[in-house]
Amino acid sequence: MNNIDWQKEDLNYIWHPCSQMKDYEELPPIIIDRGEGINLYDIEGNCYKDVISSWWCNLLGHCNPVISKRLKEQADKLEHVIFANFSHKPIIELCMRLSKIMPKGITKFNFADNGSSAIEMSLKLSFQYYQQTGKPEKTRFMALTDAYHGETISALSVGDCDLYTKIYKPILMDVIRIKAPDCFRCPYGKKRDNCDCPCFEDCERQFEKYGDKTAAFIAEPLLQGSAGMKIYPALYLKKLRKICDKYDVHLILDEIATGFLRTGKMFACDNALISPDIMCISKGLTGGYMPMSAVCMTDKIYNAFYDEYNTYKAFMHSHTYAGNPLGASCALGVLDILEAGEIQKHLDTVTPYFNNLIKEKFLNMDNVGEVRQLGLINAIELVKNKEAKTPFNSKMRLGYQIYKKALKKGVLLRPLGDVIYFNPPLIIDKPDMDYVVNTAYECANEALKEIN
């Protein structure tokens, strides 16, 4: 079968995620054969530079030899085992090593197999905690506008991106919505870098009203990824930690996208020097090899479920693949690499280079409203009018046009609406940075010329 045959058979059977399948008529699926570093190669040998880490999970490059070796060795030894009453070395070692890098006070780990499931688990944990510690009135959740926490019903409930949630509103939980910081279009006229977060007042108002009825506040720390890589100040998180303590509300941090050095620190909350009560991790955890997630929490939460069986305080929650040995082995490979320290050194030199490069290229473009940077994550928000910050008509699908052009030039960009962003594997080098930034710049200019 040749490339076209494979594409035809793909579309005969497969419903691809997060896609209008009709779009595949003009842009058929790209059949990837192999990966190496930041490069993906299709079956005809064309190369695509994966600067979005294949949905933000590929942390250390495709087919990383250290992780691959761990996976292969584990596959020959033990692929899976029931995780109630049974355990295995890879998962125990993983927890021992994870606990060394966790934010302060995070000591216990419960596993699931994807990000959304971790979010589900964290909400259930928080709810049940208050049911069995004498505050059964705490049944509500708070979350930010523009939040994204995954796509199961409860994850959608705490999320707030219309594209994913709107149609399901009638069947979602009623969540208390707090106006998220919006540093690009700040209604208070403040700048992100030296801001005292007056926008926190909405949060204060809602806590006054609902704090006593709320079990948990869930947030993506510092970076609202799916909302368009919106970045907000660490001070906002500090304030959030404080007010959660005041009202005895759990702070659940969704570090699924931000964990493992994505923001420059091991976890985004490390930038604010705070710890959550519950933290969800996934994506980078296995370096993008195996679906695995973990809900990480304090002893205090764990202990509220610890009692005689007949008190029925146990957390009766399980996923078949929870704590899978193959996933755990990949995660150990990731930690092998991160603990060796070379990645941190690499990031110290390439991060300023990348960020300057992007600023130099894009900042002065007529249609660039803002360039946002956090670690290696860079977002470029395209607007119709730079001064008024007015967006383009979404029907024009500007981001999608840029995406298609970039693919032809061998760069996998996949923008969020009209926000072009880079979230590359941490191993990306300077020549690749030059190439992908130049390509994105060319494609953005071509697409803008066509719609302006």
Ligand X SMILES: *Cc1c(COP(=O)(O)O)cnc(C)c1O
List interacting residues with ligand X (CB under 6 A): 114-116, 119, 148-150, 220, 225, 254, 256-257, 282
Least separation in angstroms between residue 252's CB and ligand X is 11
Q: 3-class DSSP state for residue 349?
A: helix
Least separation in angstroms between residue 309's CB and ligand X is 32
Least separation in angstroms between residue 28's CB and ligand X is 24
Residue with smaller CB distance to ligand X, 109 or 148: 148
Assess contact for 72 and 244: CB atoms under 8 A. Answer: no
Least separation in angstroms between residue 419's CB and ligand X is 15
Residue with smaller CB distance to ligand X, 266 or 444: 266
Interior angle at CA 439, CA 435 and CA 444, nearest 5: 155
Residue with smaller CB distance to ligand X, 18 or 388: 18
C-alpha 261 chain-centroid distance: 12
**186 Cβ contact list (under 8 Å, min separation 6):** 192, 195, 199
Residue with smaller CB distance to ligand X, 254 or 432: 254
Residue 348 to residue 392: CA distance in whole angstroms: 36
Residue 146 to residue 198: CA distance in whole angstroms: 18
Structure tokens at 354: 């990348």
Least separation in angstroms between residue 47's CB and ligand X is 26
Number of H helices, E strands in the chain: 14, 16
Least separation in angstroms between residue 58's CB and ligand X is 13
- Using the structure block, give the residue that is written with the tokens 């497969």: 14
* Residue closest to ligand X (Cβ): 115
Residue 355 to residue 422: CA distance in whole angstroms: 10
Residue with smaller CB distance to ligand X, 180 or 437: 180
Pairing of strands 176-178, 140-144: parallel
Residue with smaller CB distance to ligand X, 102 or 119: 119
Structure tokens at 92: 């125990």
Interior angle at CA 282, CA 279 and CA 287, nearest 5: 135
Residue 50 to residue 56: CA distance in whole angstroms: 10
Interior angle at CA 20, CA 16 and CA 21, nearest 5: 60
Residue 45 to residue 279: CA distance in whole angstroms: 41
Least separation in angstroms between residue 188's CB and ligand X is 26
Closest CA to 73 of 333, 335, 339: 333
Residue with smaller CB distance to ligand X, 53 or 439: 53
Residue 223 to residue 16: CA distance in whole angstroms: 26
Residue with smaller CB distance to ligand X, 416 or 437: 416
Residue 192 to residue 271: CA distance in whole angstroms: 14
C-alpha 4 chain-centroid distance: 33
Least separation in angstroms between residue 423's CB and ligand X is 10
Interior angle at CA 116, CA 415 and CA 137, nearest 5: 125
Residue with smaller CB distance to ligand X, 256 or 383: 256
Least separation in angstroms between residue 153's CB and ligand X is 12
Residue with smaller CB distance to ligand X, 148 or 422: 148
Least separation in angstroms between residue 332's CB and ligand X is 20
Backbone CA torsion sign across 85, 87, 91, 93? positive
Question: First vs last Cα of the chain: how many Å apart?
Answer: 42
Residue 275 to residue 3: CA distance in whole angstroms: 49
Residue with smaller CB distance to ligand X, 116 or 324: 116
Least separation in angstroms between residue 115's CB and ligand X is 2
